[in-house]
Amino acid sequence: MSSRISLRLRTLRVAGLAILLAASGTACKKNDGETAAGGYVQGQVGAPTAGAGAMNPAGVGGASAVSAAGGAAPMATATASSAGAAPLPTQAGPVAQRLDAASAAAIQPIIAGLVKDNVQPGAKPVGEFLVGNFTQGQTLDLPIQLQPNKCYTIVATGLPPITEVNVQLQLTTVIPGMAPVLAVDQDNGATAVLGKKTACYRWMFGVIPAPGKIVVQVTGGSGVVAAQAYEK
């Protein structure tokens, strides 16, 4: 009985946090020193998304913003670069084909290089190593548990002829259609890194873990993409 009560209280806390974020409509506080070089900008917290994740339309670069569901006007995001962020569509693309990790042998050396250049020493891989076969516009997501005061870096890359990969970090809530976007990558090209080194994304709310998900989308080309999250 006590475990059921604890679980219910935890669910209510997460739901209450989502409602609070939705009501405020403000971006999460950034860490000191977070700039465009950190590889991401804060999402418009509280903006609902439809489906697995609303990402950039095909042919648009890595800079992203969130648009309200139901065709409402795009909401502005806090941006860490001077380039204007393109509005996101209100619907996610179709789901890509998920592959097992053995299919990523050719991409592993690239991921290893990204980790060396962009992930803090001592950070540990967390969650699933995502591998998928994408066509343009397709998405895949994987769950991640955001721990209080932990810092997260997400690396993703695709093999040719992939030309554009985008990454979002979303909060998972118990409210249907409500998945606030916490951060979006700002890289252009077949590689996307969200939260580089000390500019990693830090979960700042509350003292309990919160469920989230990483959404990876290909908006240029087609082929194999791999992604992995790291926690410190």
167-206 pLDDT, tens digit per residue, is 999 999 888 888 899 999 999 999 999 999 999 999 887 6
Provide the pLDDT for residue 31.
36
Per-residue pLDDT, averaged over 83-105, amounts to 69
Sheet strands (E) in the chain: 40-42, 64-65, 86-87, 97-98, 124-134, 139-146, 151-158, 164-171, 181-185, 191-194, 201-202, 210-220, 223-231
Provide the pLDDT for residue 174.
86
What percent of the chain is helix, strand and coil (3-state, nearest 5)? 20, 35, 45
| CATH number of residue 82's parent domain | 2.60.120.380
| Structural domain for 17, as ranges | 2-231
Per-residue pLDDT, averaged over 117-139, amounts to 96
Per-residue pLDDT, averaged over 215-219, amounts to 98
Angstrom distance (rounded) from CA 152 to CA 194: 8
Where do we find the tokens 């995502």?
130
Task: List the beta bridge partners of residue 134.
Answer: 223
The count of other CB atoms within 10 Å of the CB of residue 175 is 14
Structure tokens at 94: 């179709």
Task: List the beta bridge partners of residue 151.
Answer: 202
72 Cβ neighbours under 8 A, 6+ residues apart: none
Structure tokens at 158: 């695709």
Q: In the chain, how many domains are there? A: 1
Angstrom distance (rounded) from CA 143 to CA 230: 13
Rounded to two decimals, the pTM is 0.67
For the stretch 70-93, pLDDT in tens is 333 333 333 333 333 333 433 456
Our measurement of the distance from residue 121's CA atom to the centroid of its chain's CA atoms, rounded to an integer in Å, reads 21
